[in-house]
Amino acid sequence: MSTEKDSEQQEAPAAEKKQVPAKLDEQLPKFEKDLADKVVAKFGEKTEVAFVKPDRIRINVKKDNIKEVAEFIRDDLGFDHAESVSGVDYPEDKEIEVVYHLGSYTDPQLSKQILTLATRAPREDDPKPGNDSTHLPSLREIFYSVEFHERECFEMLGVYFDGHPDNRRLLLPEDWADLPPLRKDFSIKGR
């Protein structure tokens, strides 16, 4: 627990934090570093640790590996639920990133931690939600709680989740025929 206390006090202005990757490894919070190392040790090249901050870890995965990584995270690291699933559109990279924020209720040590698992799906300029190449494997079998989040992600960004029981519309009106609204090329009026 002492490490956590320390890391809490390390809460530093962002100016310092931005340089964290540049600094030496020892200055990274230890506990979080260990967790990240575990993932890297298991999957090696397939994963990439984007950053390690106090209480926050971010791991980028290829879309083919995401299921195994997620399973490993659930079973061996002890993260047992997803707090949110957010899609981010990167039109320049022609990719859509889907970010899972995973947390843990069962393990008291992990209760502060949020593990961010990010993966990317190809993006098409002329999306036909569900019928184009924007596919990702669904994590619903692994984290049951992503069900509605993934549905929302599907309708807001057009990412089809393979293996999801009902990829239906959730929030938008039934007659929505436009682009998925959270894509960057869907522009709202007047802007």
Residues that bind other proteins (CB under 8 A): 8, 13-15, 17-18, 55-56, 58, 80-84, 86, 88-89, 99, 101, 105-106, 111-112, 114, 116, 143-149, 152, 170-174, 178, 181-182, 186, 188-191
Residue whose CB is less far from other proteins, 64 or 105: 105
Largest pairwise CA distance in the chain: 55
Residue whose CB is less far from other proteins, 41 or 189: 189
What Rg value do the Cα atoms of the chain yield, rounded? Answer: 18
| Least gap, CB of 77 to other proteins (angstroms) | 15
Cβ-Cβ contacts under 8 Å for 154 (sequence gap 6 or more): 129, 130, 160, 161, 164, 167
Residue whose CB is less far from other proteins, 42 or 51: 51
- Record the tokens describing residue 40, joined without a space: 């890297």
CA dihedral 9, 10, 13, 15 (to 10 degrees): 180
| Least gap, CB of 178 to other proteins (angstroms) | 8
Helix (H, G, I), strand (E, B), or coil: what is residue 32? helix
Phi-psi region of 55 (alpha: psi -120 to 50; beta: other; left: phi over 0): left
| Least gap, CB of 40 to other proteins (angstroms) | 20
Q: What is the C-alpha to C-alpha distance for residues 90 and 141, in angstroms, rounded to an integer?
A: 27
| Least gap, CB of 49 to other proteins (angstroms) | 14
| Least gap, CB of 137 to other proteins (angstroms) | 19
Residue whose CB is less far from other proteins, 27 or 106: 106
Residue whose CB is less far from other proteins, 3 or 84: 84
